[in-house]
Amino acid sequence: MLSQLIQFLNQPFPDSQDTDKWKSALLIGAFIASFLYVFKPFNLENAGHETWVVCLGFGLITFLVIIFIKVVTGALGIREDLDSWIFWKWLLSTLATILVIAIANYVYIKMLYRDLGGVIGFVSMLFSTFLLSIFPLIFIGSIRVVRNRLRYENISKDLIIPHITRQDRILKIKDAEGGIALEISSEDFLYAEAQHNYVTISYSKENSLQQCKFRQVFKNLEIEICDKDIIRCHRSFIINTGKIEEVSGNAQGLRLKLDTAADLIPVSRKYIPVIRQKLA
């Protein structure tokens, strides 16, 4: 039982698209405001203001904190679209977000009531906020993991790896200064990965994996090398579809096994229709 729980907590957790993050933050804020307005805990009806205004303030605080946390994690380079982003990490980050929301709510409600009983009042606010949030979050997170995993596993089973002879061409890949960083056959190209302001090209040479890292804007690389066979599958990856050997799925989307490459290449939700069309 314990081993199954640990295995579940270590599953990849589905990332959110940028629009989804704004939408989810707005929905959570609206839920908090509505819940407080309906049930009126903390004696909200005696706050000395219009109750709906006070509740709206709680919802707005929740929304702003969630967006702030998302901006900070993005600035710190924390990636939510790779297999390293797993359920327990999402749960910890969510708990940290709840903690910040609780502190912000405490400051807000202290402005309304002035006296909340010092430390006892603060602890009570933390407990109430966690109690209101933690169990629904665990339930919702578990549903998201299971639903997305089953969905993408089923999609991966329907895809067929084509064996088509493709026209070879020479790729003269430029760096940020315009010089030739790498010259290889398109048949040898496996994938490219964006790493901040750098790009790493992985290619095969004499049946072994080789890599070349240089400075370049990933969008410029996409314009330069992509064609009907070499396509983008993720915000950080460009792949050679002719090198796909196996397709699998998890809660974050599809994963591609390429010839001679040990690492699985992620396919984000945005690019799954492109891959499905290619492997139909």
What CATH number has the domain bearing residue 177?
2.40.50.1020
Same domain, 115 and 181: no
Two tokens at 190? Answer: 């496996």
Same domain, 145 and 195: no
CA distances from 191 to 53, 226, 229, 235, 275 (A): 53, 11, 11, 13, 15
pTM for the whole thing? 0.76
Res. 83: pLDDT tops 60? yes
Question: Per the structure, how many domains does the chain have?
Answer: 2
Question: What does the alpha-carbon distance between residue 223 and residue 41 come to, in Å, rounded to a whole number?
Answer: 56
Same domain, 7 and 105: yes
Same domain, 179 and 54: no
Res. 71: pLDDT tops 60? yes
Burial class from Cβ neighbours inside 10 Å (0-12, 13-18, 19+) for residue 53 reads: exposed
Query: Which DSSP state fits 14?
Result: P
pLDDT digits (tens, 9 = 90+) for 240-278: 998 999 999 998 889 999 988 888 999 988 899 999 888
Same domain, 44 and 128: yes
- 260's enclosing H/E stretch is none
Range of the domain at 104: 2-158
Residue 25 confidence (pLDDT): 82
Q: What percent of the chain has pLDDT over 70?
A: 89
- Residue 163 falls inside a structural domain: no
Question: What does the alpha-carbon distance between residue 29 and residue 250 come to, in Å, rounded to a whole number?
Answer: 29
Give the residue, 169 or 78, on which the prediction is more confident: 169
User: Reduced to 3 states, what is the DSSP secondary structure of residue 243?
Assistant: helix
- 147's enclosing H/E stretch is helix 118-158
| β-pair partners for 244 | 258
pLDDT digits (tens, 9 = 90+) for 208-240: 899 999 999 999 999 999 998 899 999 899 999
232 in Cβ contact with 250 (< 8 Å): no
pLDDT digits (tens, 9 = 90+) for 181-199: 999 999 999 999 998 889 9
- Residue 11 falls inside a structural domain: yes
Q: Which of 114, 130, 158 is the last residue of a domain?
A: 158
Same domain, 133 and 186: no
Residue 92 confidence (pLDDT): 85
274 in Cβ contact with 233 (< 8 Å): yes
Residue 78 confidence (pLDDT): 75
- Residue 186 falls inside a structural domain: yes
Same domain, 123 and 224: no
Same domain, 44 and 137: yes
Question: What does the alpha-carbon distance between residue 102 and residue 205 come to, in Å, rounded to a whole number?
Answer: 56
Same domain, 32 and 142: yes
Residue 31 confidence (pLDDT): 86
Terminal Cα-to-Cα distance of the chain (whole angstroms): 39
pLDDT digits (tens, 9 = 90+) for 2-57: 788 888 888 888 876 555 677 878 888 888 888 888 877 766 666 656 788 888 88
161 in Cβ contact with 30 (< 8 Å): no
Residue 19 confidence (pLDDT): 56
- Residue 244 falls inside a structural domain: yes
Q: Which of 158, 183, 210 is the last residue of a domain?
A: 158
- Residue 165 falls inside a structural domain: no
- Residue 176 falls inside a structural domain: yes
Burial class from Cβ neighbours inside 10 Å (0-12, 13-18, 19+) for residue 180 reads: exposed
Residue 185 confidence (pLDDT): 93
47 in Cβ contact with 89 (< 8 Å): no
Same domain, 29 and 144: yes
Q: What percent of the chain has pLDDT over 90?
A: 34
Query: Which DSSP state fits 64?
Result: H
Two tokens at 160? Answer: 């067929």
Residue 246 confidence (pLDDT): 92
- Please, which pLDDT band fits residue 151 given cuts at 50, 70 and 90? very high
Q: Which of 115, 134, 158 is the last residue of a domain?
A: 158
pLDDT digits (tens, 9 = 90+) for 100-146: 888 888 888 777 766 656 677 677 777 776 777 777 778 888 998 99
Non-local CB neighbours of 218 within 8 Å, separated by 6+ positions: 192, 194, 199, 236, 238
Mean pLDDT of 203-209: 88
Residue 179 confidence (pLDDT): 92
Residue 20 confidence (pLDDT): 66
Same domain, 242 and 193: yes
* Closest C-alpha to 187, from 209, 158, 165: 165
- Residue 35 falls inside a structural domain: yes
Same domain, 12 and 145: yes
Residue 261 confidence (pLDDT): 83
